[in-house]
């Protein structure tokens, strides 16, 4: 059994937030939990369509994701948000509204992200083609006291997801009955 809660993955673009979120969601669903993933890229095309990348628009986007997470958590669903969410103040505002909020900092050095550059965004940002790009021309404020820190430059996504899983168990947020092994 489980109660509703929110896992909030924050970190720079390309750090692995979405991948870790999907691994966690799959494992939780396999264990019988109700789970919804709010991926930053997907939310921007639906819930936050039309918002730009000014600080005000970014704050609005994160508040919307937080509002949905709050509703889901309150109704017994595990909400997993995977969004850059660059500003500490807004993340703390969301934390204050959601009981059982688990902040996960997906850390990865900028140099590694620039090397990976899966979507080619860092190259464009460094060439000035993408204004207001978090980590290049816009700030990212790492969390001061996240419940979990994973480092995608040295951990596999599965290892990072396991660290989060272990913390959820430690916090008493998940406790799934394990079936005895067949003999």
Q: Which positions are annotated as active-site residues?
A: 85
Cα 79 to Cα 8, 66, 161, distances in angstroms? 8, 10, 15
How far is it, in rounded angstroms, from Cα 147 to Cα 127? 35
Helix (H, G, I), strand (E, B) or coil at 117: coil
By the 8 A CB rule, do 173 and 102 touch? Answer: yes
Residues 6+ apart with CB under 8 A from 126: 114, 136
Give which of 49, 43, 51 is closest to 68, Cα–Cα. Answer: 43
């Amino acid at each position: 059994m489980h109660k509703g809660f929110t896992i909030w993955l924050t970190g720079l673009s390309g750090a692995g937030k979405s991948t870790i979120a999907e691994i966690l969601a799959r494992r939780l669903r396999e264990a019988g939990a109700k789970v919804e993933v709010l991926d930053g890229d997907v939310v921007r095309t639906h819930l936050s369509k039309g918002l730009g990348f000014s600080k005000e628009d970014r704050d609005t986007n994160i508040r919307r994701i937080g509002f949905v997470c709050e509703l889901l958590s309150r109704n017994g669903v595990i909400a997993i948000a995977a969004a850059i969410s660059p500003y500490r103040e807004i993340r703390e505002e969301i934390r204050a509204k959601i009981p059982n909020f688990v902040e996960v900092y997906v850390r990865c050095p900028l140099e590694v992200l620039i090397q990976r550059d899966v979507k080619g965004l860092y190259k464009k940002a460094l060439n000035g083609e993408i204004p207001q790009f978090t980590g290049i021309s816009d700030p990212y404020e790492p969390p001061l006291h996240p419940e979990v820190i994973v480092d995608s430059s040295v951990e596999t996504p599965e290892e990072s997801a396991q660290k989060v899983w272990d913390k959820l168990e430690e916090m008493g947020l998940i406790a799934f009955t394990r079936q005895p092994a067949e003999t």
